[in-house]
A = this chain, B = another copy of it.
Amino acid sequence: MKEADVLIIGGSAAGMVTAMTGKSNWPKKDFILVKKQKDVMVPCGIPYIFGTLESIDKNIMPVDVALQKSGVKSLVDEAVNIDSENKVVTFASGDKIKYNKLVISTGSTPIKPSWLKGADLENVFTVPKDVVYLNEMKNKLGDAKNIAVIGAGFIGVELSDELSKHGYNVTLIEKMPNILNLAFDVEVADKISSLLTERGIKVITGKGIGRVLGEQKVEAIELEDGERLAIDAVVLSVGYKPNTKLAQDSGIFVDEDKFIAVNEYMRTHEKDVFAVGDCAQKRDFVTRSRVGTMLASTACAEARICGMNLFNLNVVKTFSGTIAIYSTCIGNTGFGTAGVTEQRAEMEGIATISGLFEGINRHPGNLPDAHKQIVKLVAAKNSGVIIGGEVIGGLEAGELTNVIGLAIQNRMSVNSFLTTQIGTHPCLTASPAAYPLIKAAEIIANKMLQNMKEE
């Protein structure tokens, strides 16, 4: 039987980064990573294979190169059983590997709602992180003219824009009152929605899909209210579920939402078994509630924690809860969100106070590539601690969102933002006199002052 000091099941971002971080921290240990397919997609790059990137080959993650450079062995196989008592994993090929430490990073699979009639017709797709499937899907979409994308989360929005760029007529359908409902409050989401509309995408919100119609192939869809749309292909992007059947069948504890339960070291209820990435349980940094956030960036953060704690739990290197930090762009407009929205905070019973400032990402605003920049900050009402932020701007929006993310992680308050130093440059950022992040904090500070006076 093969043996490994550390065995990792799953070769996407979470598995790869656990392996690399682990090997770098414990260089004398043997690491084996087993992945299901030879080629692994850059997960967040998937929507872009339909437009910007043209070919799927351009979106392959250099996992094998990275692992080899780090001194990690990799195999292609599929785990079918974990015997955590004897510390042995059995694979589809019949091979068995004995481990000292096991890391489960089996990822997630798109949800295909069981209640949706017609979901099994030809030309109804989901968006799995699967090279073979996506290649086939790209080919089949070739003939289509009218595509419906169901679900306006990040993947739905990005995919709609890319498919539209590629020349398809795209209708994006979202059941909730606004697109990107988990990530942005309505006033920001509406601006993104308008941008999609300007780019020729038909956006329908507040109405879910009823059923898919057709003989063999999709011919139309019917919305909840009976409205029918002639459609040649449907892409379902209504969420992902963790791949945890293997863990659960092997007796590793999963929570009521089927995520593998883990602690701050990413350790499962089995002492020598860790779980990271989409398949692992997450708690929100702010609300402390369990959340279903699935992000490659979160997965990588968890993977680093896991890699550093494999053989010796290190109390200063723990995972402090998931801060959902998302960003994306439509054309040259970038968007980002970090922490909780006002809406989410309200649902969780957190009293908030917010400030929104509209400025410009260059100074003077006459510079040729200047773009409107909007920052909304959400703070806890009494303490002024920043718990969330939303950004619209140019392509700097991604890193600007990370500034907010870091502020949340450092539990910075509005007051500390007021005294924060920021670097600015005409061609790279907003003006130092009207830097939207600080102006938004000022708005909150003034509201807090006003509240104090009124009380």
Q: Is A353 an interface residue (CB 8 A)?
A: no
**Which residues in window 147-201 of A have CB below 8 A to B?**
none
Q: State whether A53 touches B423 (Cβ < 8 A).
A: no
Q: State whether B432 touches A299 (Cβ < 8 A).
A: yes
Q: Is A378 an interface residue (CB 8 A)?
A: no
Q: State whether B398 touches A395 (Cβ < 8 A).
A: no
Q: Is A281 an interface residue (CB 8 A)?
A: no
Stretch at the interface among A2-10, A226-234, A409-417: A409-417
Q: State whether B432 touches A297 (Cβ < 8 A).
A: yes
Q: State whether B363 touches A446 (Cβ < 8 A).
A: no
Stretch at the interface among A40-48, A87-95, A131-139, A344-352: A40-48
Q: Quick one: closest B residue to A285, CB to CB?
A: B421
Q: How far is the CB of A134 from chain B (nearest CB, A)?
A: 14
Query: Which of A317, A422, A429 has the most B CB atoms < 10 Å from its CB?
Result: A422
Q: Is A310 an interface residue (CB 8 A)?
A: no
Q: State whether B364 touches A425 (Cβ < 8 A).
A: no
Q: State whether A428 touches B317 (Cβ < 8 A).
A: no
Q: State whether A415 touches B317 (Cβ < 8 A).
A: yes
**Which residues in window 32-57 of A have CB below 8 A to B?**
42, 44-45, 48, 52-53
Q: State whether B425 touches A44 (Cβ < 8 A).
A: yes
- Which of B20, B25, B410, B423 is within 8 Å of A338, CB to CB? B423
Q: State whether A59 touches B364 (Cβ < 8 A).
A: yes
Per the bound structure, the CA–CA distance linking A329 and B427 in Å amounts to 7
Q: How far is the CB of A320 from chain B (nearest CB, A)?
A: 7
Stretch at the interface among A112-120, A209-217, A300-308: A300-308
- Which of B420, B426, B442 is within 8 Å of A406, CB to CB? B420
Per the bound structure, the CA–CA distance linking A397 and B42 in Å amounts to 23
Per the bound structure, the CA–CA distance linking A384 and B406 in Å amounts to 18
Q: In the complex where A44-B424, A395-B428, A432-B299 touch, is A446 in contact with B366 (Cβ < 8 A)?
A: no
**Which residues in window 390-441 of A have CB below 8 A to B?**
394-403, 405-407, 409-410, 412, 415, 418-429, 431-433, 435, 438
Per the bound structure, the CA–CA distance linking A433 and B16 in Å amounts to 8
Q: How far is the CB of A254 from chain B (nearest CB, A)?
A: 23
Q: How far is the CB of A280 from chain B (nearest CB, A)?
A: 14
Per the bound structure, the CA–CA distance linking A17 and B61 in Å amounts to 47
Q: How far is the CB of A25 from chain B (nearest CB, A)?
A: 8
Q: Is A22 an interface residue (CB 8 A)?
A: no
Chain B contacts of A338 at CB under 8 A? 423
- Which of B20, B42, B435 is within 8 Å of A363, CB to CB? B42
Q: State whether B419 touches A319 (Cβ < 8 A).
A: yes
Per the bound structure, the CA–CA distance linking A251 and B317 in Å amounts to 54
Q: State whether A420 touches B409 (Cβ < 8 A).
A: yes
Chain B contacts of A366 at CB under 8 A? 53, 58-59
Per the bound structure, the CA–CA distance linking A163 and B53 in Å amounts to 37
Q: In the complex where A24-B446, A366-B59 touch, is A409 in contact with B421 (Cβ < 8 A)?
A: yes
Q: Is A323 an interface residue (CB 8 A)?
A: yes
Q: How far is the CB of A433 from chain B (nearest CB, A)?
A: 5
Q: Quick one: closest B residue to A407, CB to CB?
A: B406
Q: Is A368 an interface residue (CB 8 A)?
A: yes
Q: How far is the CB of A49 from chain B (nearest CB, A)?
A: 10
Q: Is A452 an interface residue (CB 8 A)?
A: no
Chain B contacts of A402 at CB under 8 A? 399-400, 403, 422-423, 429
Q: Is A291 an interface residue (CB 8 A)?
A: no
- Which of B60, B399, B435 is within 8 Å of A403, CB to CB? B399
Q: Is A13 an interface residue (CB 8 A)?
A: yes
Per the bound structure, the CA–CA distance linking A52 and B425 in Å amounts to 14
Chain B contacts of A319 at CB under 8 A? 419
**Selected A-B contacts with CB under 8 Å, 14 pairs:** A20-B433, A24-B442, A42-B426, A297-B421, A297-B424, A301-B419, A317-B418, A325-B423, A327-B429, A338-B423, A398-B429, A399-B399, A403-B403, A406-B406
Q: Mark A residues whose CB is within 8 Å of B.
A: 13, 16-17, 20-21, 24-25, 42, 44-45, 48, 52-53, 58-61, 66, 285, 295-301, 304-305, 308, 316-320, 322-323, 325-329, 334, 336, 338, 363-364, 366-368, 394-403, 405-407, 409-410, 412, 415, 418-429, 431-433, 435, 438, 442, 446, 449
